[in-house]
């Protein structure tokens, strides 16, 4: 009976998601540095973390950086110039550095000390053939990876914070006068919430292969990891991290009997699916407060039943399910 009601509630949520046109995933960000055109190479130093950034690694929103570039101008154009520009969304570095720019090759023929304004995001050089090195100092805003989604909750209007990696972010570009850009340096920007999830995900995927959790539980562990990935792709990496927190090796001792294992897998599998779908519902619902409230109540009841099932096997898992149920209650 309880199982039937559980599937009925799940079906109701699926129906709402289908009507809302919700997408369950977004393209997973790929890290990578790109030096293009006149920008022939670049190195990055994290001024906030006081460490060099590994080749291809993502930058972190909220941190300040020193991006050192090698610029190669292929020819000379009389009475012409070009501009180096820092991304217009960036801020001055918050580490005591004065200005956005520092030139390391003052003997470059195109360098004009009078026109060079290191405190501005855009600095101008004369169009002369040659190679020079320059550093850009900047801070990436803390909210660079955080759009804000609006949704209607049973208690009224509210906001939910999403976290999405930003790929192909142009840090610095080269723009000749009256011309299109001739070079740039770009990379991926993430934030601490995204990177915390990535770390938790990396550890979780190694639990069974390393033997920390018996392979008997592979389907259960992989199911939870899969649902955590879905949450991350919805822009909810912190929820994904919380879900992966269920996977505590000490909660998986000697494999249980086949019957109990089957019941537990079904119970926890339903719980994580409900958690993901509820997140989608919150993101996409518009003007369905009464209907949403009814579904929330059903989901809370389902989770209460699942807590009892999980408690027969491991109290920590039951506590995790109770935490999910409490969070649903806070939204009603």
Interval 187-209 mean pLDDT: 94
Lowest mean pLDDT of 21-25, 143-147, 160-164, name the range.
Answer: 21-25
Please tell me whether residues 112 and 126 are part of one structural domain: yes
One domain, residues 10 and 102:
no
Q: Are residues 75 and 175 in the same domain?
A: yes
Are residues 209 and 186 part of one domain?
A: no
Domains in the chain, number: 2
218 band by pLDDT with thresholds 50, 70 and 90: confident
- Residues 179, 226 within the same domain: no
Are 19 and 74 in a shared domain? Answer: no
pLDDT at site 67: 97
Does residue 87 sit in the same domain as residue 154?
Answer: yes
130, 161, 190 — which closes off a domain?
190
Do residue 200 and residue 118 come from a single domain? no
Domain containing 119 equals: 34-190
Q: Are 101 and 66 in contact (CB under 8 A)?
A: no
Q: Are residues 51 and 151 in the same domain?
A: yes
Distance in angstroms (rounded) separating the CA atoms of residues 164 and 143 = 10
**Confidence class for position 11, pLDDT limits 50, 70, 90:** very low
Judgement on whether residues 294 and 199 belong to the same structural domain of the protein: yes
Asked whether residue 44 falls in the same domain as residue 159, the answer is: yes
Residue 249 DSSP code? G
Given 190, 222, 245, the domain boundary residue is 190
How would residue 3 be classed by pLDDT, with cut points 50, 70 and 90?
A: very low
User: What's the rounded mean pLDDT across residues 95-109?
Assistant: 89
Confidence of residue 22 (pLDDT cuts 50, 70, 90): very low
Q: Would you list the DSSP string of 98-144?
A: -SSEEES-TT-TT--TTT--TTSSEEEEE--SEEEEEEEEEE--TTT
Q: Which of 98-107, 148-157, 226-235, 280-289 has the lowest mean pLDDT?
A: 280-289
Average pLDDT of the segment spanning 18-43: 62
Output the domain CATH number for residue 172: 2.60.40
Domain C-terminal end among 190, 221, 248: 190
User: Which segment, 139-153, 279-293, 311-325, is predicted with the most confidence on average?
Assistant: 139-153
Q: Band the pLDDT of 18: cuts 50, 70, 90.
A: very low
CB-based contact 13:274 (threshold 8 Å): yes
What is the model's pLDDT at position 239?
83
Q: Are residues 181 and 39 in the same domain?
A: yes
């Amino acid at each position: 009976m309880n199982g039937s009601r559980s599937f009925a509630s799940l079906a109701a949520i699926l129906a709402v998601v289908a009507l809302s046109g919700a997408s369950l995933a977004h393209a997973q960000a790929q890290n990578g540095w790109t030096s293009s055109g006149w920008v022939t190479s670049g190195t990055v130093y994290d001024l906030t973390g006081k460490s060099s950034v590994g080749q291809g690694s993502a930058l972190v929103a909220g941190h300040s950086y020193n991006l050192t570039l090698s610029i190669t101008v292929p020819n000379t154009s009389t009475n012409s110039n070009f501009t180096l520009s820092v991304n217009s969304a960036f801020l001055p570095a918050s580490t005591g550095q004065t200005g956005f720019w520092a030139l390391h090759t003052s003997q470059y023929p195109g360098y004009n000390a009078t026109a060079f304004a290191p405190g501005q995001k855009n600095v101008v050089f004369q169009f002369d053939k040659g190679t020079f090195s320059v550093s850009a100092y900047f801070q990436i805003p803390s909210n660079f990876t955080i759009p804000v989604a609006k949704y209607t909750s049973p208690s009224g209007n509210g906001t939910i914070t999403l976290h999405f990696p930003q790929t192909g972010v142009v840090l610095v570009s080269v723009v000749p006068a009256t011309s299109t850009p001739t070079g740039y340096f770009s990379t991926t920007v993430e934030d601490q919430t995204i990177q915390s999830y990535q770390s938790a995900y990396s550890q979780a995927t190694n639990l069974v292969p390393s033997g920390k959790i018996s392979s008997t539980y592979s389907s259960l562990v992989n199911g939870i990891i899969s649902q955590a990935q879905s949450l991350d792709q919805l822009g909810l990496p912190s929820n994904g991290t919380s879900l992966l927190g269920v996977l505590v090796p000490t909660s998986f001792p000697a494999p249980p009997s086949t019957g109990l294992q089957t019941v537990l897998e079904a119970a926890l599998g339903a719980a994580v699916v409900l958690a993901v779908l509820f997140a989608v519902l919150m993101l996409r619902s518009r003007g369905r407060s009464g209907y949403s409230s009814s579904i929330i109540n059903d989901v809370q009841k389902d989770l209460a039943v699942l807590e009892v099932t999980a408690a027969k096997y491991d109290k920590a898992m039951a506590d995790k399910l109770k935490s999910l149920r409490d969070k649903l209650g806070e939204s009603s």
